[in-house]
Amino acid sequence: MTGSEVRPEQTAAHGSRIRRAVRAVRGWVDDASQPDPGRRPVTRVEIWQVLGLWAVARGVNLAFLFIWYLVSTASGWGFGAQDRPVGTFTAFLTGWDADRYGRISLIGYPPVIPVGPNGNVLENDWAFLPVFPWLERLVGDLVGSDWRAAGIGLSIVFSATATVLLFLLLREVTTPRQSRWAVVFFSFAPLSFVFVIAYAESLVLTLTFAALLLAAKRMYAWIAPIGLVAAFTRPGALAVALALGIVFLVRWWRKDVDPFSRREATGLVVAGGVTAVAGLAWSWIADIATGTPHAYVLTETAWWRPFVGSGDFVPLTPWFRFMGEYLGVFGWLLVAALMVGFALLMWSKPVRRLGVVVAAFGVSYGLYIFGVFLPQASTFRLLMPISPLLAHEKLSSRRAVRVGLLVALIVLQFFAVYGLWTRGYP
């Protein structure tokens, strides 16, 4: 036998590994496709309870922000890491990205991409998508307010719709207890204070949870207009499109045991396609409007320069690039460990039991965050769309865990308002 020949036992072993892998994937798909036997219809009383919880949580957000605002003014602190003037409480709630949304609502986008003396593209408003500032302008004109009041009001209102839609989504796929506590954790999460500042998070969460709810109900075609609007609200629509692609593959694979009609297949293809194209369109629009190739990518990566210096954007490398910059090989190993941990979470039975829509979106959005974003303070805020994973059964199965986690989240929120808003980068 020559060195290039393959033994029969090697071929058999290779075939056995492939069969085990296929069986494992089939098991994940089958588990994720089975309805949770603990599901129950939603009552009107439960919706009102969710809205009551939402109101209490927003009161907590405003209280924490107001406390730190008073501390800031009494101590003579500047706002944020750049020590800007604090001003009024309304101005305090409309700093950072909110200022940029406000400027876009008033004057639109810059006609050219600003460039520094060394030829590097500078941070600019093309990084911020247009739907939220347009709404600020529209609502401000209708009610006679400035963009600040309109932006805060829109954020609070859309936080209510996001909370209710998250509850409805989870009730579609899991038990009342898991759904209820997931909404509690979502409402009091450390970054939930963004629901009362003039940011687009509330709106994009409303749109994301609406799309996932429609997917869970198999009303696929209706996702297309939602995906279109979401794509021009906040980055992340490509993750929704990828999730719909995974759902399509799962439905196709199981069509013999779970009929997959032509209408449903067409609806999924259209919704996924529209969302994917829309998710890429802002980059094309920025190129055409400014006359600068890759204007949007260069603008986004301008925020990276203080952390990792200049360099071209390469998908799937930002986390390795950042961690390697500060921790060397250990940083790369840490990123690899995080990837393995996340993969194991997505593979776990509690996540499978949340249904193929939630699981597929968790996988897709995790890949999206890893693939295109540099890890920094805003990463915690950017992870909010995967809040449906808070319905993980281990988080709500025991009273001690539920209460302990809730207390921890509220305490962390208090300090997050300080570290990620009042004195640091959000």
pLDDT tens digits for 232-274? 999 999 999 999 999 999 999 999 999 999 999 999 999 999 9
Tokens of 9: 């036992």
* Residue 25 domain flag: no
Q: In the chain, what percentage of residues exceed pLDDT 70?
A: 96
Question: Among 11-15, 181-185, 269-273, 333-337, which stretch is predicted with the lowest mean pLDDT?
Answer: 11-15
Instruction: Answer whether residue 2 is part of any domain.
Output: no
Percentage of residues of the chain with pLDDT beyond 90: 83
pLDDT tens digits, 121-138: 999 999 999 999 999 999
Tell me whether residue 92 is in a domain. Answer: yes
Between CA 411 and CA 418, with CA 415 as vertex, the angle to 5 degrees is 155
Is 323 part of a structural domain of the chain? yes
Q: Would you mind telling me the total number of residues written for the chain in this entry?
A: 426
Give, in degrees to the nearest 5, the angle at Cα 99 between 96 and 144.
140
Give the range of the structural domain holding residue 260, as residue numbers without chain letter.
39-422
pLDDT digits (tens, 9 = 90+) for 286-309: 999 999 999 999 999 999 998 998
Residue 133 belongs to some domain of the structure: yes
Query: For residue 350, what pLDDT is reported?
Result: 95
Structural domain contains residue 24: no
- Check residue 338 and give its pLDDT: 97
For the whole model, what pTM was predicted? Answer: 0.94
Task: Give residue 11's pLDDT.
Answer: 61
Residue 78 forms part of a structural domain: yes
pLDDT band at 34 (very low <50, low <70, confident <90, very high): confident
Any idea what DSSP says for residue 418? Answer: I
Amino acid identity for residue 68 in this structure: W
The number of distinct structural domains making up the chain is 1
Predicted pLDDT of residue 27: 81
Average pLDDT, the chain: 93
Residues 6+ apart with CB under 8 A from 229: 131, 207
